[in-house]
Structure 1
Amino acid sequence: MEWIWITVLIIPGIVLMTLNEKELYKELLPNDTPPPYMLRLLNHIIVAFPFTVLGLFFYKRADLENALTLSIDWLVILLSLACAFINIVAYYIFLKKNISTSTFYQMERTRKKTWISTRCLYGGIVEEIIFRFGLMSFFIWLLTQFTDQEILSFWIANILASILFALAHLPGIQQKKSQSQKESFSI
């Protein structure tokens, strides 16, 4: 039954990202024709569904069954808002100061071209299911095979999933950087 709920959660994000990508492809590769819609859709399905299956297979084995039914209280909401605020500050103060102006504005143009619904449903749900539900469940299960320290396993798995999440986004950032450097040379 869980697979139905997870599928219902990830499909809207995948469809929206597939729709949004056409414009992103045109911006990144202006001389190339974007892949057809169905090919882009299939690409996202091939990426998302194996991690969804991985999560469905390992979350109970990692003893996360009760974690999915925890209630959200005020502390969780306050911590989430604090993390969002720290992220905004890091993005607009730290990142903006430490990358070239052209790269930053290229990132901003891309962010603005990606619909808010796509950013929320793909980044906020699909990517979380891939990295937190799929990979983190697997890592927790794997680590608990070597130690009975559940908290330690949880934190190491969380860190590993976070590192892989960051690494998965590096090619896009590098591509934006390369594109802004090409634009700088052509001016």
Structure 2
Amino acid sequence: KIIFFQGQSGFIIGDPNQWRLNKKLSGGGAMMDIGIYSINGARYMIGEEPIWVTAQETKNDPVKFKEGIDETIQFQLGFPGGAVASCLSTYAVNHLDRFYLAGIDGWAEMQPSTGYGPIKARTHKGELTAAHITHQTVQMDEMAGIILENKKPVIPVNGEEGVKDMKIIDAIYNAVKTGKKVDLT
């Protein structure tokens, strides 16, 4: 049984004039850009949809991170089976690309977890090894198969996953704004 997930995604953002720091182009800041990786990691690795969120924002550079562009958001997700996720999305810290999963009988960790690779993983039983496969190549090949060969997608490509993610992101922003736990049910 899974008890805990931790997702960390972050890097120090460079050019203050880039699209990631423009609300009209990016839709937000670190949360909209890289926070999604921890949301997906928690949802997929726990195997459930979250039922509540809490979140806190830290902004140390309000000049660079203007209104509507978050610098750092810490967020927590609660799941119906009792698991909890604790996640961090930031444009203020380099080298954050880690997933950690703990269960009753063991743990697993990936670091880096979502970058271009190679991904490294280990469990309470030792290191996991697998051939490095560039995930963008797999995504493009799968999309081509769906279009050209009528292949059935592993995960729906009809927008449902994106809608689920955006509901969670909206709830995280709401939790930051209100300082309260936001129910997702």
TM-score scaled by structure 2?
0.29
- The structure with the largest strand share of the pair is 2
Higher relative contact order (CA closer than 8 Å, sequence separation 6+): 1
- The structure with the largest helix share of the pair is 1
Which of the pair has more CA radius of gyration? Answer: 1
